Chains A and B, each alone.
Chain A
């Protein structure tokens, strides 16, 4: 009888791999060519979210700049909120096709709703956040609160 064992992802089971060498080769080739696609991970958990737009966070002396790639997302479908030091970007990327029965030849991108939550290092001034959407890139400039800014105290040498 089996006790409770750790769940293992089936696709990486060694016995299954060895069963068909051609399938194994195919899989390795597929993985090789998919290497620079984000959001195409092999994660299969029910609650795993593979939709996660790539994001950069840069800390500057007096502000924090968040940039997020959101191609095809309309400005009005975005919902950005800050509570405390947690930034949440929610949105929906609508599917582009107009007709219901469209025949796809290739589909690499995703559509649907997405959400990203990040905690920010310094406390930012939520009232002064500036959000700009340009060419499918969201750029948030969040000025730091006065007390969080790096201060320079002049010391006079006597």
Chain B
């Protein structure tokens, strides 16, 4: 999996609010590929995950910041999250499981049955 996005996506993205790439971890666990994307401030309802061809597009809208008052310290960035991953053929697109907890999105990608290693029995003649 690598980051890649089509020009169509970039164009669409520019029309929206400023976006930043969320931090992500990808690892393998029990034969599944787990993708964790950190999106603090994004609730379950403000997240959008879609598959467009080879691209897995994740976007999350952050809740707006404080509207009144004076900022004494400002380190959090005002932006929505946007991230595109490229899925290769081995990922089963119908079996993607997504959960959101504590501002972390967890995607569980399963590999297609056909690409999983198969054990071949040797028959004795």
Contacts and interface: CB of A to CB of B under 8 A. Distances in A.
A56 B73 contact: yes
Interface residues of A, number: 39
Given A71-B102, A72-B102, A136-B103, A65 B69 contact: yes
Interface stretch (B5-13, B39-47, B112-120): B39-47
A96 B38 contact: no
Contacts of A57: 71-73
The interface centre, meaning the residue of B65, B76, B106 with most chain A CB atoms within 10 A of its CB, is: B76
B111 to A, nearest CB: 13
B27 A55 contact: no
Contacts of B104: 71-72, 96, 136
A8 interface: no
B20 interface: yes
Interface residues of B, number: 38
A136 B77 contact: no
B41 A136 contact: yes
Contacts of B66: 56, 58, 60, 65, 67
A108 interface: yes
Interface stretch (A15-23, A42-50, A99-107, A124-132): A99-107
A98 B36 CA distance: 13
B25 A104 contact: yes
Contacts of A108: 23-25
Interface of B: 1, 20-21, 23-30, 33-34, 36, 38-43, 63, 65-66, 68-77, 100, 102-104, 106
5 contacts: A57-B73, A58-B69, A69-B76, A72-B102, A97-B29
